[in-house]
Amino acid sequence: MTQQQINYLIALPKLLDKNGILNDTYTMIKQEPFQKRYTLKSPLNNRYTFLYNVDQSSKNYLKLTLHLMDNDTKIGLLRIDFNGQHQNPENINDDVPNDFRPFAGKFFAYNEPHLHYYVKGYKPLSWAKPLSKDYPVQNISSFSDVINAFIAFNSLISLKTNFIINPVIL
């Protein structure tokens, strides 16, 4: 895939697909750890189906991964990691976006949230850069942060479904 195709897929408006029905609103029960897998489709271009994984570690509640991939190819398009580690490739090809180039070879430590992006010519999502300072969540210290990171990522991937998260009733 080219960078233009990846950018198009990320920007394509998406809705949650439950049993073939696209949902503008979806109600779910709050649960910790927050581990969900969603199927997404675009109302503007139904040729594409996406998988969206939300994975809060059951051993370390401060570790969170938000991951969007193309369902047909299983290519990762975009991912944010909180409290995970990663090493970027050392070598830069012509397809590495300019804003990722300063981070060639960078090792992201556990406390450095980072954004992974598909770059042609590399293993999917092998490139990352620090999470933008204007991203609304900079670290995970509570379940509220997990939900806020989820909502912010939904916006980043053009997911238009409004999620209503209800507390567990005992």
pLDDT, tens only, 51-87: 999 999 998 889 999 999 999 999 999 999 999 999 9
Structural domain boundaries in the chain: 3-166
Strand-pair partners of 51: 39, 69
Buried b (16+ CB within 10 A) or exposed e, 78-113: bbbbbbbebebbeebeeebeeebeebeebebeeebb
Helix or strand or coil: residue 109?
coil
Q: Over 80: is that where the pLDDT of 167 sits?
A: no
Mean pLDDT of the chain: 93
Confidence of residue 168 (pLDDT cuts 50, 70, 90): low
Q: Does the pLDDT at position 137 exceed 50?
A: yes
Rounded CA separation 79/157 (Å)? 10
User: How would residue 12 be classed by pLDDT, with cut points 50, 70 and 90?
Assistant: very high
CA distance 30 to 115: 25
Please, which pLDDT band fits residue 32 given cuts at 50, 70 and 90? confident
User: Residue 114: pLDDT above 90?
Assistant: yes
> pLDDT at position 170, please?
45
Q: Which band of pLDDT confidence, cut at 50, 70 and 90, is reported for residue 2?
A: confident
- Give mean pLDDT, residues 31-40: 93
